């Protein structure tokens, strides 16, 4: 009789271990969720850094004429009256297409 009780308890223990490691809400699911949380945290930090840079850029454009002038020169190719624009073209390397 005691053997059957011990065997039954062993079977219940094995079943609980299997459920713990492989079942829904088990350790495998926890590890998967932890990995997803780490990935999302990294993505959030990357996006926060990008947003901070954009916010600083907006602040510079709102309050600084130098930032507006720099943007106009670099992105739009604008020049001031009396300035001469020089466009330097690098020679193409052999085998390179334009």
For residues 25 and 36, which has the higher predicted lDDT (pLDDT)?
36
Asked, for residue 86, whether it belongs to a domain, the answer is no
Query: Which tokens go with 80?
Result: 């001031």
Q: What is the pLDDT of residue 93?
A: 83
Asked, for residue 41, whether it belongs to a domain, the answer is yes
50-61, pLDDT tens digit by residue?
Answer: 999 999 988 888
Give how many domains the chain has, as a whole number. 1
Asked, for residue 84, whether it belongs to a domain, the answer is no
Residue 23: domain span: 2-76
Asked, for residue 95, whether it belongs to a domain, the answer is no
Asked, for residue 71, whether it belongs to a domain, the answer is yes
Percentage of the chain lying above the pLDDT 70 cut: 98
70-87, pLDDT tens digit by residue?
Answer: 888 888 888 888 888 888
Q: Which residue has the tokens 């011990």?
A: 6
Asked, for residue 19, whether it belongs to a domain, the answer is yes
CA–CA separation, 70 vs 39, rounded Å?
36
Asked, for residue 89, whether it belongs to a domain, the answer is no
Phi, psi (deg, nearest 5) at residue 90? -75, 140
């Amino acid at each position: 009789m005691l053997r059957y009780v011990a065997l039954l308890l062993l079977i219940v223990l094995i079943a609980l271990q299997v459920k713990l490691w492989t079942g829904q809400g088990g350790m495998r699911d926890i590890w998967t969720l932890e990995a997803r949380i780490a990935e999302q945290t990294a993505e959030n930090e990357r996006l926060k850094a990008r947003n901070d840079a954009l916010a600083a850029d907006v602040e510079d454009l709102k309050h600084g004429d130098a930032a507006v002038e720099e943007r106009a020169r670099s992105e739009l190719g604008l020049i001031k009256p009396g300035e001469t624009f020089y466009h330097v073209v690098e020679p193409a390397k052999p085998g390179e297409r334009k």
